């Protein structure tokens, strides 16, 4: 029960959180439901614009209503999935703690720390695939006594977050080795190889499908949003603190003495952190890429409590708790109003964009909810030709002549201009062909979007 509570409460507290990208797969899913196929624009080509390949197909049964209605349904799905996984996590750590009163108190406190890691609840209620991926990864970690189940569940999690594949293979191998060691079975490495292959298989299938259909095994976002190791190191360093649970297992000596499942979970987590570092991190807030594997560290902590001194375990809990309270007070409030702000923005934009046929914009998520017009994605997340251009996802070298060639009649830019927007607005050709027609306020801090319309010749 405590595990479910510690999952549900922060998810409800962060119910108002979402991100613009959550609406991208909603548009793909809507076109699947209406028979238009797997595409972002109704009359555009089929493109690989959703990083977790199966997600739009999973969203499709929920995509019968408006984009915002679908997003609300996805938020419910994420919260329900994570709450159920939290209940299983609570049951698992309770079983590990056994009847020992001190260990049970430590286990309960660790679950509370997971609840204080508000970023987990935020992503569960975001409407993104992260909530379901977190649930799958958490349940996989609770089933390590049954390595095949761990391998399958971890592999499925990696289809929703591709960077999880390293973690999935690592925890599947670790579960197999821990299980064969405890049961004194022969040929432990054979079981480990089978577990690793099983965990990799779903990811491999997605990569193969991408290769056959789109001509490349990696998601289009890899090209659209290139990063580097420096950004990745900063991202991982900050995320390790924000998700809190890594602090609970920062005891190398206890890890060495415990080994078994505890070591397997921690090694898999470290492998995942290195994978995220190598991928260059992420531009979204709230440590999204480390969230799915953070809850599993609670299992390792409770296992470590069997060999670590209670005072040291309590000290790590206290440190994580203090940081958690600080983050909740300082960082959580900013995310609680995002959905309401986006819903208001969409409502304001609909009449303004009613006559638009082709819209060029960097933030395509909310725009896709405000208009059925064709969208030229200035970040390249859904457009391979733009994704291949030099620059990052906010600095692609898109020029005005390219927009005119594509028949763009509306351009939307943010008040806090990004590089690609600056380049477009400064062009003399843009000034001569487009004029400002509206400003759309966003939230309460003075930000807004500016809408430009092509002048009639």
**141 and 75 together in one domain:** yes
State how far the Cα of 167 lies from the Cα of 158, in Å rounded to an integer. 8
Averaged confidence pLDDT in the chain = 91
Degrees, nearest 5: CA angle 134-342-68: 70
Q: Please give the average per-residue pLDDT across 424-451, as a whole number.
A: 92
**308 and 230 together in one domain:** yes
Position with higher pLDDT, 436 vs 456: 436
**321 and 416 together in one domain:** no
Domain that holds residue 120: 2-335
Q: How confident is the model at residue 279 (pLDDT cuts 50, 70, 90)?
A: confident
Contact 413, 81 (CB under 8 A): no
- Among residues 307, 335, 363, which one ends one of the domains? 335
**330 and 344 together in one domain:** no
Position with higher pLDDT, 372 vs 184: 372
**How many domains is the chain built from?**
2
Q: Please give the average per-residue pLDDT across 298-310, as a whole number.
A: 88
Phi-psi region of 85 (alpha: psi -120 to 50; beta: other; left: phi over 0): alpha
Q: What is the pLDDT of residues 25-64, one digit of tens each?
A: 999 999 999 999 999 999 889 999 999 999 999 999 999 8
- Among residues 305, 335, 365, which one ends one of the domains? 335
Residue 184: pLDDT over 80: no
Question: Among 308, 293, 269, which residue's Cα sits nearest to residue 89?
Answer: 293
**Tokens of residue 435, six digits:** 């004029």
Q: Quickly count: other Cβ atoms within 10 Å of residue 54's Cβ.
A: 16
**134 and 201 together in one domain:** yes
CATH of the domain at 395: 3.40.190
State how far the Cα of 67 lies from the Cα of 27, in Å rounded to an integer. 7
Q: What is the pLDDT of residues 142-179, one digit of tens each?
A: 998 899 999 999 999 999 999 999 999 999 998 888 87
**329 and 403 together in one domain:** no
Contact 55, 156 (CB under 8 A): no
State how far the Cα of 217 lies from the Cα of 289, in Å rounded to an integer. 20
Residue 224: pLDDT over 70: yes
Give the burial class of 5: count Cβ atoms within 10 A of its Cβ; 0-12 exposed, 13-18 middle, 19 or more buried: middle
**300 and 324 together in one domain:** yes
- Among residues 283, 300, 335, which one ends one of the domains? 335
Q: What is the pLDDT of residues 387-418, one digit of tens each?
A: 888 888 888 899 999 999 999 999 999 999 99
What is the pLDDT at residue 333?
92
What share of the chain in percent tops pLDDT 70?
98
Q: How confident is the model at residue 180 (pLDDT cuts 50, 70, 90)?
A: low
What is the pLDDT at residue 28?
96
Q: Please give the average per-residue pLDDT across 265-292, as a whole number.
A: 91
Q: How confident is the model at residue 343 (pLDDT cuts 50, 70, 90)?
A: very high
**45 and 131 together in one domain:** yes
**217 and 81 together in one domain:** yes
């Amino acid at each position: 029960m405590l595990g479910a509570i510690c999952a549900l409460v922060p998810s409800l507290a962060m119910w108002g959180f979402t991100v613009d990208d959550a609406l991208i797969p909603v548009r793909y899913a809507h076109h699947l439901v209406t028979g238009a196929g797997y595409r972002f624009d109704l009359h555009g080509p089929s493109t690989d614009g959703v990083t977790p390949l199966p997600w739009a197909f999973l969203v499709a049964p929920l995509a019968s209503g408006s984009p915002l209605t679908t997003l609300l349904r996805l938020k419910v799905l994420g919260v329900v999935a994570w709450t159920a996984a939290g209940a299983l996590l609570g049951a698992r750590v309770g079983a590990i703690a056994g009847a020992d009163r001190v260990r049970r108190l430590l286990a309960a406190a660790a679950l509370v720390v997971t609840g204080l890691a508000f970023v987990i609840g935020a992503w569960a209620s975001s409407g993104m695939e992260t909530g379901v991926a977190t649930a799958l990864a958490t349940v996989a970690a609770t089933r390590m006594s049954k390595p095949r189940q761990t391998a399958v569940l971890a592999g499925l999690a990696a289809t929703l977050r591709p960077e999880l594949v390293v973690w999935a293979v690592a925890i599947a191998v670790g579960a197999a080795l821990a299980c064969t060691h405890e049961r004194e079975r022969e040929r432990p490495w054979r079981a480990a190889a089978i577990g690793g292959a099983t965990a990799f298989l779903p990811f491999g299938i997605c990569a193969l499908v991408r290769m056959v259909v789109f001509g490349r095994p990696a998601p289009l976002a890899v090209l659209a949003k290139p990063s580097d190791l420096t950004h990745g190191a900063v991202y991982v360093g900050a995320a390790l603190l924000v998700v809190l649970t890594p602090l609970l297992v920062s005891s190398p000596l206890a890890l060495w003495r415990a080994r078994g499942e505890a070591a397997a979970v921690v090694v898999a987590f470290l492998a995942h952190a290195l994978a995220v570092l190598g991928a260059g991190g992420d531009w979204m807030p709230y440590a999204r890429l480390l969230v799915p594997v953070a809850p599993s560290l609670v299992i390792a902590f409770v296992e470590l409590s069997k060999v670590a001194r209670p005072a040291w375990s309590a000290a790590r809990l206290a440190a994580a708790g203090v940081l958690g309270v600080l983050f909740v007070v300082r960082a959580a409030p900013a995310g609680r109003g995002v959905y309401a702000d986006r819903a208001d923005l969409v409502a304001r934009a609909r009449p303004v964009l009613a006559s638009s046929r082709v819209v060029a914009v960097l933030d395509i998520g909310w725009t896709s909810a405000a208009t059925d017009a064709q969208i030229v994605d200035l970040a390249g997340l859904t457009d391979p030709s733009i994704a291949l251009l030099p620059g990052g996802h906010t600095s692609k070298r898109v020029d005005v002549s390219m927009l005119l060639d594509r028949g763009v009649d509306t351009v939307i830019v943010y008040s806090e201009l990004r590089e690609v927007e600056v380049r477009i607005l400064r062009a003399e050709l843009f000034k001569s062909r487009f004029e400002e027609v509206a400003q759309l306020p966003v939230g309460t801090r003075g930000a807004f979007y500016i809408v430009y319309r092509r002048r009639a010749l």
